[in-house]
Structure 1
């Protein structure tokens, strides 16, 4: 199951100031990332595709880093995901995500 990692900047404030809301976020995370049918790697790649389609720079970067660090996801696997983004969301989100992928790989 997915360990407790949240990328939103505001989560640290929620954890400190509203622990009951934070606990709900943790439980939701556990309920979503179960690995029951789709393994966690596949779920991670779906999350990457969604963040790329939304053109969220920070989230794209974090999802790519996490996928590589946690699962050893390759550039080719990420590009397969981004091809779907190109088809479903168009060129601008696709190109942004490709740029971020290369920046991450160069770090």
Structure 2
């Protein structure tokens, strides 16, 4: 469906992020600390936070974010049903454009071999 290969996209972005870690280490350290602080389980578990991040990625139409958050959700044991229910809320909140990116997010899920149920 999508023109994007999410595994290839995330690999390419990861290479450039490695360069940024060398070239602007303080900025990248700050970003990593912010991500760690935001995503650490507390009142909300890590999976819930990743589902929120994915909804935002779809709403903002960020292909790289869709790829990385899909990988994280699969790693956290998210079921396809949980993933698709998050897509339903995203579509509801964002209308047609979110529907298009929800379809792309499902494409990313399948490209990363997410579970079928």
TM-score category, normalised to shorter length: 0.7 to 0.9
Of residues 31, 37, 40 in structure 1, which corresponds to 2:37?
31
In terms of mean alpha carbon deviation, does 27-36 or 37-46 score higher?
Answer: 27-36
- Distance across 2 between alignment mates of 1:103 and 1:15: 26
In structure 2, the partner of 1:41 is: 47
In structure 2, the partner of 1:78 is: 83
- 8 Å contact kept, 2:51–2:83: yes
- 8 Å contact kept, 2:58–2:105: no
Gaps of 5+ in 2: 1-9
In terms of mean alpha carbon deviation, does 32-41 or 95-104 score higher?
Answer: 95-104
In structure 2, the partner of 1:3 is: none
Is residue 18 from structure 1 mapped to residue 24 from structure 2 by the alignment?
Answer: yes
- Distance across 2 between alignment mates of 1:96 and 1:14: 27
TM-score by length of 2: 0.72
- 8 Å contact kept, 2:66–2:105: yes
Gaps of 5+ in 1: 1-6
Aligned residues: 100
Bigger RCO (CA 8 Å, 6+ sep): 2
